[in-house]
Structure 1
Amino acid sequence: MRISNETKVGILATVAIAVLIIGYSFLKGNDVFTSENTFYASYDRVDGLSVSKPVMVNGYQIGRVSKMQLQSSGKILTEFKIKQDYAIPANTIARIASTDLLGGKAIVFELGDSPTYANDGDTLRANIQRNILEQVEPVQKKAEAVVAVLDSVLSSINNTINADFQHNFNRSIASIANTLNTLEHTTTQVDAIVGTQRTKLANILSNVEAISANFKNNGDKITNILGNLESVSDKAAKADFERTINNANAAVADLQNIVNNINSGKGSVGLLLNDEKLYDNLNNASKNLDNLMIDLKENPSRYVHFSIFGKKRD
């Protein structure tokens, strides 16, 4: 049987139209060869989400976004096509999540634990996960604040570390280095001295050890000697002290006897102090002597006779 060219053209056009419809539906996210359940979720915003984006559970794709429609309330009603092979619990959450750093989005089902399952055409609970840039934004702000503080600190340090400070700092480092070199040289000299005098030091330590051993071996004798010396010292101190006190007491007794004798009028001193007649006689004698001296001054011729030519003979 011969097929006409018109028939061939018609068949070819029909196939082309069918392929075009199937391809268009596939590009829109519809799978015309498998049976699927339809679910819905309503979102306040769907940044980066578009038709044909995958619907995943634990990173595994179970469906796709088939339709998105803006409602009068301002919410976006999103339609999902899910293969009938997968049972979706009724309390499952359809969450918009980021898939890459460029802002790509996908629907992630967080499967619930309800014993009942969602039916075809049910609306699931919706949730939106912040994208990676939104999660990083608080950290970015903190990092910017830290960088600003760090810049201020570095500016302050730069102002503090001027040329004079650097010069003084370099001088301090050089001084410390010289001190360390001097200390190292001194240590080397001390080490050399100790090395050369090691034999003498050993002998000195040996002698000290021998002296210590002698003290240790004669400890009892030394203790006895010190005890005897202490006893002798105590006795001598006691004897001298007692003798001194006795002498002082005897001297005080003698002095008291002398005072008593004077008070009682015994002896020359006692008579001199206690005899009123003697006092009166001495007083009168003193007055007479005084009168004699006055008369002598006034009338010296009465008492002294002299002549240039000698004494006259009667």
Structure 2
Amino acid sequence: MKINNEIKIGLMVVVSLILLVVMTFTAEKFSFSKKGYTIKVQFKDISGLTLSSPVMFNGYEMGVVENIAIKEGKEEVKIELTLWLNQKARLRKGDKVYVKNLGLMGEKYVGIVSKSNNAPYLQEGAFLIGEDPVDFEKLMEDGQGIAKQLNEVSQNINELLEKNKETIDEILVGVNETLKNAHSISDDLDDLMDVNKGKVDRMVANLEATSKNLEEMSLDLKLHPWKIMYKGKDK
């Protein structure tokens, strides 16, 4: 019985080791038999990306994050990723590389989008600069700052209106009075035009008649200029 128990325990250990190996290969998502190549991509921030995170090429999973290294520069620290890519994922110079989430709160992944079909292909060990992910915390801080400023502006406007409430009321009353006076003047002008409409019409008619007489006289003198001479002799 004791030997049987030891055999069972041994078998369980072996099976566990086999499962562990299978799970490791499954997590890597690519078998060693598949051909591929590696490239290096540098970011300022990878937002929680980890080893073995997937690499999506134009939305299709074609690789994994093979290594993550910290590179200290003169001015700032960079994060350098080594990406293993299936040989079918042929990257070109100028392709866009970024870090994103699978879904709203899903795992991180490296995304690659091809930009040009005319650019040369990248070779093994090529180096790219990635586009850093959006810093949501900074966006939230900026949004809170803007909201605070808007609130302060709103308070200042309210205070200004409150302080000048009486003046504004007086201005509004004055505007209303001015509008009433304007309407009154307009009505008076209409009445005046109605009362003097006949006189105005007669004046216009007289002016038209006088103008017509002058035109006829001018035409007559042009046609009979000697009339001026006769009138001079008569005098």
Tell me the TM-score range normalised by the shorter chain.
0.5 to 0.7
Query: Superposition pairs for residues 64-143 of structure 1, below 5 Å?
Result: 64-69=64-69, 76=79, 78-88=81-91, 95-98=97-100, 106-108=110-112, 113-114=119-120, 118=123, 122-133=124-135, 140=142
DSSP-derived class of the 2:46 partner: coil
* Secondary structure of 2:135 counterpart: helix
For the pair 1:50 / 2:50, whether they are aligned, the reply is: yes
- Structure 1 residue 151: Cα displacement: 2.8
Measured in 2, the distance between the counterparts of 1:169 and 1:60 equals: 68
Question: Larger radius of gyration, structure 1 or 2?
Answer: 1
Q: How is 1:281-296 mapped onto 2 (pairs within 5 angstroms)?
A: none
2:172 to 165, 170, 173: 170
Q: Which has the higher strand share?
A: 2
**Per-residue deviation at 1:11?**
8.2
Q: Give the 3 Å change call, closer, same or farther, for CA 157–109 of structure 1 in structure 2.
A: same
Structure 1 counterpart of 2:82, which letter?
A: E
Distance in 2 (CA, whole Å) between partners of 1:153 and 1:84 is 62
Question: By how many angstroms is 1:125 displaced?
Answer: 0.6
Q: How does 1:160-239 map to 2 (within 5 A)?
A: 162-190=164-192, 192-193=194-195, 197=197, 201-219=200-218, 220=220
CA displacement at 1:35 relative to structure 2: 0.9
1:64 partner letter: V
CA distance, structure 1, for counterparts of residue 234 and residue 18 of structure 2: 141
Identity of aligned residues (%): 14
Kept in 2: contact 1:35–1:83 (CA 8 A):
yes
Q: Does the 8 Å contact 1:46/1:76 carry over to 2?
A: yes
CA contact (8 A) 1:98 1:132 kept: no
CA distance in 2, matches of 1:106, 1:53: 7
Cα deviation 1:262-309 (Å, max 9, x = unaligned)? xxxxxxxxxxxxxxxxxxxxxxxxxxxxxxxxxxxxxxxxxxxxxxxx
Answer whether contact 1:94 1:110 (CA < 8 A) is retained: yes
Q: What is the root-mean-square deviation of aligned Cα atoms in Å?
A: 5.0
- Of structures 1 and 2, the one with the larger relative CO (CA 8 A, separation 6+) is 2
Q: Deviation at 1:12?
A: 8.5
Select the structure that is richer in helix.
1
CA contact 1:66–1:79 (8 Å) conserved in 2 = yes
- 1:132 aligned counterpart, secondary structure: coil
The answer as to whether partners of 1:38 and 1:82 remain within 8 angstroms in 2 is yes
Amino acid aligned to 2:176: A
1:50 maps to a residue whose letter is T
Q: Distance in 2 between matches of 1:21 and 1:82?
A: 22
SS in 2 for 1:86: coil
Q: Which residue of 1 aligns with 2:3?
A: none
Check the 8 A contact 1:55/1:109 in 2, yes or no. Answer: no
Check whether the contact 1:36–1:81 (CA below 8 A) recurs between aligned residues: no
Aligned counterparts of 2:52 and 2:200: Cα–Cα separation in 1 = 97
| TM-score normalised by structure 2 residue count | 0.59
Q: Judge conservation of contact 2:43–2:131 (CA < 8 Å) in 1.
A: no
1:114 counterpart letter in structure 2 = P
CA separation in 2, counterparts of 1:44 and 1:204?
Answer: 91
Aligned to 1:269: none
Structure 2 gaps, min length 5: 1-5
* Residue 244 (structure 1) aligns with: none
Structure 1 residues 69 and 217, CA, compared in 2 at 3 Å: closer, same or farther? Answer: closer
Deviation per CA, 1:2-46, whole angstroms, max 9, x where unpaired? xxxx9999988766654442223333x342386142414264644
Give the number of equivalent residue pairs: 212
- Would you say the 8 A contact 2:41–2:130 is kept in 1? no
The letter of the residue matching 1:205 is V
TM-score normalised per structure 1: 0.47
